[in-house]
A and B are shown apart, each in its own frame.
Chain A
């Protein structure tokens, strides 16, 4: 797993996961992640939007212009088939990785 994967990997996967519930615009994606994590993860807009564009470039999501819940013109993102596959393949890896990091950080014994 490369360094860029480590930095962007979780964010990308979280965005893709958010989209499995349906199309969403950037604002609602950020809000959803914040809610789900109980305000622990505050996604910065400075990372969110480049990530969205990067995912679109890689063909993992598509975008379309639509009308938001409060009648504003907004860009909605949709998960593509490739995006769904990617999510399915990568999520288990990240879960394993996160568990492994947890095991290390909570370790009761020092190195032998």
Chain B
């Protein structure tokens, strides 16, 4: 009947035994049945059997009862856990309320740390972790080619499911009175099919690619068409050609970045320039391709290499040495900023660690003050685990309060972000989504364990005997606590030094970028683009430009003005190859240079030094001798130390004409393609001898661009209204845009470094103050015995500085290793730059000095008489 050994029931001595209970309960019933049958006249044996028959399957009933019993026990246990947690929480809240100042400081410190982490994580999440908002975004790869090469690839490549190509154009539009320049893409019919659907309307496809239609961006739609749906079917004039608007893209469509506002069919746009369609060397077309399943970007590149080699065999003139590669679209969009963002997240994590150190210090103080309470509770039977759990729960309460506040702080920071920078890709996708909130929660809990564990263990260790012996001064475990505090301080200093050195390296890099010689002076330099393509006669273009320059020179506020086809430091606009009479280039040589058409006075206006020979003047006219000015880089490359003046050079760009040109001057290197790229070769020709289809008016002026716009436009409209420039920009703004991402990252890191320093300073101050408070008696006695206050002050400071220096050394060594990660972000310097490390050490020591000096001074003001009376 029962397989349970009878000794089991003795287990009940240590608590209820479910199994034995059920067993007893059911056995009783069977016994009673037996008795019933016996009294009805059955024999003992018959009664027993009848009872068992009557009862049925004993074990099945027992099993079912046991199951219900276990269920109940589980429910009871769960209730107990929750109620003890609730009890802990309530007790924790009461403790925190009892120390409002400490609680508030801790919560705000944590809110700052967790908030900053959450904000940076939301940036990482929006930019790096979330997939690009395109169909199958992780299967898209990109490259750059010429159109004929693209067509050959489309035919031969087996790696792709679909391909499209496009090129970037600048269009002048005039929806209202103000003309505006916008960036547009001329795209093939497959372009949108690879990327995404329109917000509404249609996109460019095979049916409409031979008609002048346009798809516009969400921003253009909002800005120029007030977000009206009736925009479909309206006409948009793109640099003089009317296009019908057929669709609007969603705001998330930022391919390849957010600066594009209009897309038109490539076939239609290039109908006027058929030569470009067949020019195998014109590699301005960007290629977008969708990888077949199972094809990696590497595999596609391998195939691309084979096709490139085949093309090089077929078209040696244009394709020798040209090897096309594909990179993933994600890398193209966010590759430039990926490492920087992860580094920021790491740095802000270090800041949070410092914050944890401070909070841990605060709590150590609290638990030390509570040593009596805790020791008494232990003596009354509270288990050590129970106490640790209690103290950790208090930390959790703090961390969750800090985390909640931190999320609010992060939300504010994220809303602030677009106003601080508009230069990061995918900025519109940075939001506090579920993943970011999850991160904040995780960070809070991790933080609680980090800052709570040490004080909890420390606190629970308290021994009643020690406490009672201390005579109620609450100084239990102070020696041990002191060591813990000291290592916290050293750790905080080390972390702060790492952040400080990192920020220092980036700040120096930024300063080097800003202060370097870029070959011209962007300050007070204003430029405006005038289109000359309305004038088909080359001589006419020269004449229109010189008339314009004359008028603009008379505008008030204009000191100097000259024309040039390039926009430094943003773009050189056009390149050329060249040959030099009597010189054979070696095979490795890059035989290319910027080709820039300029008017007399160009270098004087830009502030570029003429190193040899002369600048162009009025004699270098259309009928004058063919001349060029070259830059220093080219002069060194071609002629080394010999004098280039008087040598002959021939430009191979067909539009420069066949003439051999005499070099009349050498000028300083101007950066024409970004200010972080080294200057490359440049060849200047007189505009009158090579009239470009456009020119930038380079204006040296006291007035800012926005005050010049109106008089400038009036002056130019006086020559020909079609030439009125859409954009007038200041070159210091252009420089600012070029360094926007760098300065954003740098100042962010600098802000974190400042935060780290403040936190570390607060930490040092807190610990030293506490230490001084603990030693008041001792200091008082020593002062009473005649110790000089100066000695006391020095002693406190020296003790603190020893910790700071220890931390700084550890931090410097760690920084030496960690800053390698910054290598790609630095400009013109190494991560081991000694000055930065020395500065970091000096700054942290100075801060340690100040932060420990204040409590030290207070210590020396201790009144011995009062101390002794206490």
Distance in angstroms from A46 CB to nearest chain B CB is 5
A73-B61 contact in complex given A45-B56, A46-B56, C-beta closer than 8 Å: no
Contact (Cβ within 8 A) B26 A49: yes
Distance in angstroms from B9 CB to nearest chain A CB is 10
Flag the segment in A10-18, A52-60, A84-92 that touches B.
Answer: A52-60
Bound complex: CA of A25 vs CA of B71, how far in Å?
Answer: 22
Chain A, 41-87, CB within 8 A of any chain B CB: 44-46, 49-50, 53-54, 56-57, 68, 70, 72-75
Contact (Cβ within 8 A) A46 B28: no
Contact (Cβ within 8 A) A57 B61: no
Contact (Cβ within 8 A) B56 A57: no
B-chain residues with CB within 8 Å of residue A50 when the two chains form the complex: 61, 64-65, 68
Contact (Cβ within 8 A) B25 A26: yes
Chain B, 25-44, CB within 8 A of any chain A CB: 25-26, 28-29, 31-33, 35
A-chain residues with CB within 8 Å of residue B29 when the two chains form the complex: 25-27, 45, 49
Contact (Cβ within 8 A) B60 A46: yes
Distance in angstroms from B472 CB to nearest chain A CB is 48
Contact (Cβ within 8 A) A54 B21: no
Bound complex: CA of A70 vs CA of B33, how far in Å?
Answer: 13
B-chain residues with CB within 8 Å of residue A53 when the two chains form the complex: 64-65, 68-69, 72
Bound complex: CA of A82 vs CA of B69, how far in Å?
Answer: 20
Contact (Cβ within 8 A) B64 A72: no
* Among candidates B28, B54, B68, B71, residue contacting A75 with C-beta atoms closer than 8 Å: B28
Contact (Cβ within 8 A) A75 B60: no
Contact (Cβ within 8 A) B65 A74: no
SS class of chain A's interface: helix, strand, loop or mixed? helix
A-chain residues with CB within 8 Å of residue B31 when the two chains form the complex: 72
B55 at the interface (CB under 8 A from A): yes
Bound complex: CA of A94 vs CA of B64, how far in Å?
Answer: 26
B24 at the interface (CB under 8 A from A): yes
B57 at the interface (CB under 8 A from A): yes
A-chain residues with CB within 8 Å of residue B71 when the two chains form the complex: 57
Contact (Cβ within 8 A) A46 B57: yes
A-chain residues with CB within 8 Å of residue B60 when the two chains form the complex: 46
Chain B, 786-842, CB within 8 A of any chain A CB: none
* Among candidates B28, B33, B72, residue contacting A25 with C-beta atoms closer than 8 Å: B28
With both beta carbons as reference points, the residue of chain B lying nearest to A56 in the complex is identified as: B72
A-chain residues with CB within 8 Å of residue B72 when the two chains form the complex: 53, 56-57
Bound complex: CA of A43 vs CA of B28, how far in Å?
Answer: 16
Contact (Cβ within 8 A) A73 B24: yes
A-chain residues with CB within 8 Å of residue B24 when the two chains form the complex: 73, 75
Distance in angstroms from A83 CB to nearest chain B CB is 16
Chain B, 257-306, CB within 8 A of any chain A CB: none
Contact (Cβ within 8 A) A45 B69: no
Bound complex: CA of A72 vs CA of B32, how far in Å?
Answer: 9
A54-B28 contact in complex given A45-B56, A46-B60, C-beta closer than 8 Å: no
* Among candidates B21, B54, B68, residue contacting A57 with C-beta atoms closer than 8 Å: B68
Distance in angstroms from A42 CB to nearest chain B CB is 9
Distance in angstroms from A22 CB to nearest chain B CB is 18
Bound complex: CA of A90 vs CA of B548, how far in Å?
Answer: 100
Bound complex: CA of A20 vs CA of B61, how far in Å?
Answer: 25
Chain B, 55-77, CB within 8 A of any chain A CB: 55-57, 60-61, 64-65, 68-69, 71-72, 75
Number of interface residues of B (CB under 8 A): 23
Bound complex: CA of A26 vs CA of B55, how far in Å?
Answer: 12
* Among candidates B32, B33, B54, B61, residue contacting A49 with C-beta atoms closer than 8 Å: B61
- Sort chain A's interface into a size bin: 10 to 19
With both beta carbons as reference points, the residue of chain B lying nearest to A75 in the complex is identified as: B25
Distance in angstroms from B569 CB to nearest chain A CB is 79
Bound complex: CA of A27 vs CA of B24, how far in Å?
Answer: 13
* Among candidates A44, A56, A57, A74, residue contacting B28 with C-beta atoms closer than 8 Å: A74
Q: A26-39 CB contact bits vs B (8 Å, 1 = yes)? A: 11000000000000
Distance in angstroms from B56 CB to nearest chain A CB is 5
Bound complex: CA of A9 vs CA of B556, how far in Å?
Answer: 100
A-chain residues with CB within 8 Å of residue B33 when the two chains form the complex: 27
With both beta carbons as reference points, the residue of chain B lying nearest to A50 in the complex is identified as: B64
A-chain residues with CB within 8 Å of residue B28 when the two chains form the complex: 25-27, 68, 72-75
A-chain residues with CB within 8 Å of residue B25 when the two chains form the complex: 26, 49, 74-75
A-chain residues with CB within 8 Å of residue B26 when the two chains form the complex: 45, 49
Q: A25, A26, A49, A68: which has the most chain B beta carbons within 10 Å?
A: A49
Contact (Cβ within 8 A) A75 B65: no
B-chain residues with CB within 8 Å of residue A68 when the two chains form the complex: 28, 32
* Among candidates A25, A45, A75, residue contacting B21 with C-beta atoms closer than 8 Å: A75
With both beta carbons as reference points, the residue of chain A lying nearest to B71 in the complex is identified as: A57
Bound complex: CA of A56 vs CA of B29, how far in Å?
Answer: 18
Bound complex: CA of A36 vs CA of B481, how far in Å?
Answer: 75
Distance in angstroms from A18 CB to nearest chain B CB is 15
Bound complex: CA of A54 vs CA of B60, how far in Å?
Answer: 16
Bound complex: CA of A59 vs CA of B32, how far in Å?
Answer: 27
* Among candidates B35, B61, B68, B75, residue contacting A45 with C-beta atoms closer than 8 Å: B61
Distance in angstroms from B38 CB to nearest chain A CB is 12
With both beta carbons as reference points, the residue of chain B lying nearest to A42 in the complex is identified as: B54
Distance in angstroms from B39 CB to nearest chain A CB is 11
Distance in angstroms from A34 CB to nearest chain B CB is 11
Bound complex: CA of A54 vs CA of B75, how far in Å?
Answer: 13
A45-B64 contact in complex given A75-B21, A75-B25, C-beta closer than 8 Å: no
Contact (Cβ within 8 A) B68 A44: no
A-chain residues with CB within 8 Å of residue B54 when the two chains form the complex: 45
With both beta carbons as reference points, the residue of chain B lying nearest to A57 in the complex is identified as: B72
Q: B71-98 CB contact bits vs A (8 Å, 1 = yes)? A: 1100100000000000000000000000
Bound complex: CA of A13 vs CA of B31, how far in Å?
Answer: 26
Q: A44, A45, A50, A57: which has the most chain B beta carbons within 10 Å?
A: A45
With both beta carbons as reference points, the residue of chain A lying nearest to B58 in the complex is identified as: A45
Bound complex: CA of A49 vs CA of B69, how far in Å?
Answer: 11
Contact (Cβ within 8 A) A70 B35: yes
Bound complex: CA of A70 vs CA of B29, how far in Å?
Answer: 12
Bound complex: CA of A68 vs CA of B68, how far in Å?
Answer: 25
Bound complex: CA of A39 vs CA of B21, how far in Å?
Answer: 30
Distance in angstroms from A54 CB to nearest chain B CB is 6
Bound complex: CA of A101 vs CA of B26, how far in Å?
Answer: 35
B-chain residues with CB within 8 Å of residue A70 when the two chains form the complex: 35
Bound complex: CA of A53 vs CA of B67, how far in Å?
Answer: 10
Distance in angstroms from B95 CB to nearest chain A CB is 34
Bound complex: CA of A12 vs CA of B357, how far in Å?
Answer: 60
Distance in angstroms from A60 CB to nearest chain B CB is 13
Bound complex: CA of A30 vs CA of B483, how far in Å?
Answer: 71
Bound complex: CA of A44 vs CA of B32, how far in Å?
Answer: 15
Bound complex: CA of A68 vs CA of B20, how far in Å?
Answer: 18
Distance in angstroms from A57 CB to nearest chain B CB is 5
Bound complex: CA of A78 vs CA of B368, how far in Å?
Answer: 51
With both beta carbons as reference points, the residue of chain B lying nearest to A58 in the complex is identified as: B72
B-chain residues with CB within 8 Å of residue A73 when the two chains form the complex: 24, 28
A-chain residues with CB within 8 Å of residue B32 when the two chains form the complex: 27, 68, 72
Bound complex: CA of A46 vs CA of B33, how far in Å?
Answer: 14
Q: B29, B69, B71: which has the most chain A beta carbons within 10 Å?
A: B29
Distance in angstroms from A78 CB to nearest chain B CB is 15
Bound complex: CA of A54 vs CA of B71, how far in Å?
Answer: 10
Distance in angstroms from B450 CB to nearest chain A CB is 42
Q: Which 6 A-B pairs have the closest CB atoms?
A: A53-B68, A27-B32, A75-B25, A57-B72, A50-B64, A74-B28
- 9 CB contacts below 8 A, A to B, read A26-B29, A45-B54, A45-B55, A45-B56, A46-B61, A50-B64, A56-B72, A57-B75, A73-B24
- Please list the residues of chain A having a beta carbon within 8 angstroms of any beta carbon in chain B: 25-27, 44-46, 49-50, 53-54, 56-57, 68, 70, 72-75
* 10 more CB-based (< 8 A) A-B contacts, given A53-B72, A75-B28: A25-B29, A26-B29, A45-B55, A53-B64, A54-B68, A57-B68, A74-B28, A75-B21, A75-B24, A75-B25
